[in-house]
Amino acid sequence: MNFTYQNATQIFFGQGQISKISDAIGTDAKVLFLYGGGSIKKNGVYDQTVQALEGHNWVEFSGVEPNPTKETLDKAIAVCKQENIDFILAVGGGSVIDGAKYVAAGALYDGDAWDILIGKYTPEKALPIGAILTIPATGSESNGNSVITNVGTQQKMAFAAQCVLPIFAIMDPDVMKTLPEKQLANGIVDAFVHVCEQYITKNAGAMVQDGFSEALLRSLISLGNDFNDRDNDLWRANLMWAANQALNGLIGSGVEQDWSTHMIGHELTALWHVDHARSLAIVQPSLLRNQIDHKRGKLEQMGRNVFGLEQSDDLAERTIDAIEAFYNSLNVATQLTEHGDDKQGAIDAVVSRLEGLNFVSLSENGTVTPVEVRQILTNAVA
Ligand code: NZQ
Ligand code: ZN
């Protein structure tokens, strides 16, 4: 357990907190107000933001898509350069906030910002970012990760950099009131898998990380079980905080991580536009069954401490069944159907793309090879 940990994002949590941006952003800064397809205009978040920005110098850029694209974000970078922007206010979900990170780093780089994704340029400076979160799921509001899609090459790729960590995040659970049911279920599943990716690895005896992970998993299950009572302040607040804590770097410090479900899932999104969380629910149960020998200890621990299952020889198997049943209880499918009729073609496409990215030995053990991915997809693709 050897690690360096810092999370410097200042969090303003609770109802009415959007007004805090008035003081959190200096009036001498020229602000780019970045947002998505317009949901913020229907739920009052846009108006609250404009009101809080009174006295500030700002311009807006809208149209950042779900699974944000290089093509759109490059236009925002051009605006930053033209307008001499010195602060980015991202108002939206993971897509807008991830997009803001790409723009913030790209604005201070002379080349094509896609260089960041392909490892040709490692950003060490970026414009400062503030986030107003409108959908709890990714944890992007207080982490340094960003996932961007290149429409031209059909690639969905990730980068991480300390310099793009938001300096503040506004988390007002009231903004969730307009979220469609599907997005709320997606948020629960994404956050659940984030914890799993940092927890279902090796049994390393990290009591604090394991204990906190288990508390988060139990909370998410409880929120899922109470899904029908979701129209209440406490439910919303608990989900927003759980999703944030699931991926702010804390539970992953000093333990092995395995992001292979995410890496395979990203390809399902790039190829068939499957929602991010739904791609994870499709891949994960099958991947866990495939890797069960490596993950048996942790799965058994999860079965006991999260699902309250009794010890038995097949406890790990029953834990995976319980995870899958949990997703299904939220109406989130665990089989891919979006690819059409050609199952073999779909599997070949995903495997060859992962090989193209050199993702040929994923997982904490490097045991998720193209052969295993084929096996995983054979069970996960309908
Ligand atoms: O664009 P608008 O009109 O705002 O609509 C959005 C979008 O269509 C809508 N929405 C957001 N807040 C709303 C709302 N609708 C009504 N009321 C509200 N309050 O929801 C839709 C989805 O938004 P999006 O931002 O795409 O969702 P999410 O937060 O799930 O983000 C997904 C993206 O994050 C990446 C994913 O790959 C995907 O591109 N991830 C980022 C991570 C990170 N930075 O750490 C980790 C994750 O694993 C993930 O990969
Ligand atoms: Zn995710």
Q: May I ask the CATH architecture of the domain 10-175?
A: 3-Layer(aba) Sandwich (3.40)
Residues 316-335 have a mean pLDDT of: 98
> Could you tell me the distance, in angstroms and rounded to a whole number, from the CA of residue 309 to the centre of ligand 2?
26
pLDDT at 209: 98
Query: For ligand 1, is residue 184 a contact (CB within 6 Å)?
Result: no
Q: Determine the atom of ligand 1 nearest the C-alpha atom of 158.
A: 50
> Could you tell me the distance, in angstroms and rounded to a whole number, from the CA of residue 201 to the centre of ligand 1?
27
| Mutational test site, ligand 1, from 7, 96, 98, max ligand atoms within 8 Å of CB | 98
Query: For ligand 1, is residue 38 a contact (CB within 6 Å)?
Result: yes
Nearest alpha carbon, ligand 1 atom 46: 138
Q: Determine the atom of ligand 1 nearest the C-alpha atom of 140.
A: 44
| Mutational test site, ligand 1, from 135, 162, 280, max ligand atoms within 8 Å of CB | 135
pLDDT at 158: 96
Query: For ligand 1, is residue 142 a contact (CB within 6 Å)?
Result: no
pLDDT band at residue 48 under the 50/70/90 scheme: very high
Nearest to 167, CA basis, from 2, 31, 14, 15:
31
pLDDT band at residue 244 under the 50/70/90 scheme: very high
Ligand nearest to the CA of 94: 1
| Separation of first and last alpha carbons in the chain | 41
Domains 10-175 and 181-380 share a fold: no
Domain ranges for the chain, please list them: 10-175, 181-380
> Could you tell me the distance, in angstroms and rounded to a whole number, from the CA of residue 23 to the centre of ligand 2?
31
Nearest alpha carbon, ligand 1 atom 22: 66
Going across the sheet that includes 57-61, the strands are 10-13, 168-171, 129-133, 87-92, 30-35, 57-61
Q: Determine the atom of ligand 1 nearest the C-alpha atom of 95.
A: 25
> Could you tell me the distance, in angstroms and rounded to a whole number, from the CA of residue 337 to the centre of ligand 2?
20
Q: May I ask the CATH architecture of the domain 181-380?
A: Up-down Bundle (1.20)
Q: Determine the atom of ligand 1 nearest the C-alpha atom of 190.
A: 48
Query: For ligand 1, is residue 62 a contact (CB within 6 Å)?
Result: no
Using the 8-state DSSP alphabet, how is residue 42 labeled? Answer: H
Q: What would the pLDDT profile of 24-44 be if each residue is shown by its tens digit?
A: 999 999 999 999 999 999 999
Nearest to 63, CA basis, from 55, 54, 71, 72:
72
Ligand nearest to the CA of 143: 1
pLDDT at 71: 98
| Mutational test site, ligand 1, from 276, 280, 284, 332, max ligand atoms within 8 Å of CB | 276
**Under 8 Å between Cβ of 92 and 73:** no
Average pLDDT, the chain: 97
> Could you tell me the distance, in angstroms and rounded to a whole number, from the CA of residue 94 to the centre of ligand 1?
4
Helices (H), 206-340: 207-225, 233-246, 260-272, 276-290, 292-305, 315-329
Nearest to 372, CA basis, from 304, 289, 300:
289
Using the 8-state DSSP alphabet, how is residue 368 labeled? Answer: B
pLDDT at 137: 97
Query: For ligand 1, is residue 134 a contact (CB within 6 Å)?
Result: yes
pLDDT band at residue 324 under the 50/70/90 scheme: very high
Residues 188-200 have a mean pLDDT of: 98
pLDDT band at residue 80 under the 50/70/90 scheme: very high
Query: For ligand 1, is residue 143 a contact (CB within 6 Å)?
Result: yes
pLDDT band at residue 14 under the 50/70/90 scheme: very high
Q: What would the pLDDT profile of 107-124 be if each residue is shown by its tens digit?
A: 999 999 999 999 999 999
pLDDT band at residue 225 under the 50/70/90 scheme: very high
